[in-house]
Amino acid sequence: MMAEKILEIKNLKKYFPLRNGLVVKAVDGVDLELHRGETLGLVGESGSGKSTIAYVLVGMYEASDGDMIFKGNNIAKTGLHRTMKQKGEIQIVFQDPGSSLNAKRTIAKSLMVPMQIHDRKSRQDMVAEGRRLLEAVGLPAEFADKYPRTLGGGERQLVSVARALATNPELVILDEPTSALDVSVQAKVISKLIELQKERNLAYLFITHDLSLMRNVADRVAILYLGRLCEQAPAAEFFQDPLHPYTKMLLSSIPVATAEEEALKPAKIVSEGEIPSPVNVPPGCAFHLRCKDKLPVCSVERPVMKEVKPGHWVCCHLFNDTPAVAHEAPAADPDAAAGQAAAE
């Protein structure tokens, strides 16, 4: 049974107007949903709009259009004006803990700031809670008296995770949380994030450009290109049977260590051309200038997202003639039918 839906994003758009009258379409009509205890991997190249979605979700930006339903409330255009409770329920862990932690504050003070804002506990309680949070993320409580500069990169990132948990959030956005870390440290951070998710039933929006990481972390994967979604699928299905040409190109470029892993990848696809500017997105399918399988319609008509397998969605003209998945209606309850007949 699917867990409760905690977030639903509908036709989300975020545009940034420029002085010369042009517009950067950073996010251009995105639909996503996220459930409790689930990790949704949002993947794309630099400039695809991944972080912009995160910043709208956390309230740093207001959406230009569309809806963002969190626990039944539309927060798409609330920005920094949303309630304190809503701000505490959605937290973010940034890519670089070195710049997101105040170098002049001890770890204890950094952990106390969100508690002061959201919980208004006594100093003694906040200090004790900060030490509990450090231990929860696998760090010694004594780290509370240290400064960020005295910690390693992985330790600083775990402090950032502890700070995000200080408000007891229900949704945590992980914006490239391991890309600034050594490979040996990444595994420790990822393992702790998975452990915390299970303990607290957290929903994760995991933003990354590293598809190989998603295989072991995400429950579902969504691929973003120039502010538009190309494909969404359960992680296992996604890696076994990618459909969109852009997705295949990304998967074919993942570095592997063995011949067995290489055999599981799509055939090597060489990227054609450059990524267009989000100020001047091509008409039709945004990827058609780089696609070796493009059709004449791809340059003039924007494709729509279509469910071609249960839970597997693709936005590509190559699948226009593929029958959409027909979801069966739930079987009628004979007792309910009898009761309805009696009522009539």
The pLDDT value recorded for residue 187 is: 87
DSSP H stretches of helix in the chain: 50-58, 84-89, 97-100, 107-118, 123-136, 153-165, 183-200, 211-217, 235-240, 245-252, 259-264, 334-343
The C-alpha atoms of residue 159 and residue 253 are separated, in whole angstroms, by 33
Q: Among 3.40.50.1950, 3.40.50.300, 3.40.50.11720, 3.40.50.1100, name the CATH number for the domain at 5-243.
A: 3.40.50.300
Domain boundaries in the chain?
5-243
Percent of the chain having pLDDT more than 70? 87
pLDDT bin (cut points 50, 70, 90) of residue 227 is very high
Task: Give the global pTM.
Answer: 0.88
Is residue 177 a contact partner of residue 193, using CB atoms and an 8 Å limit? yes
Q: Encode pLDDT of 142-153 as tens digits.
A: 999 999 999 998
Residues 6 or more apart whose Cβ sits within 8 Å of residue 187: none
Please state the rounded mean pLDDT for residues 80-109: 89
Q: What is the amino acid identity at position 273?
A: G
Place of tokens 């009898």: 338
**257 pLDDT higher than 60:** no
- Give the residue among 229, 224, 246 at the shortest CA–CA distance from 293: 246
User: Between 263 and 119, where is the model more confident?
Assistant: 119
- Give the residue among 232, 177, 243 at the shortest CA–CA distance from 208: 177
- Under DSSP, the state recorded for 48 is S
Structure tokens belonging to residue 217: 């972390």
**268 pLDDT higher than 90:** no
The pLDDT value recorded for residue 343 is: 39
The C-alpha atoms of residue 188 and residue 215 are separated, in whole angstroms, by 16
- Give the residue among 204, 195, 216 at the shortest CA–CA distance from 175: 204
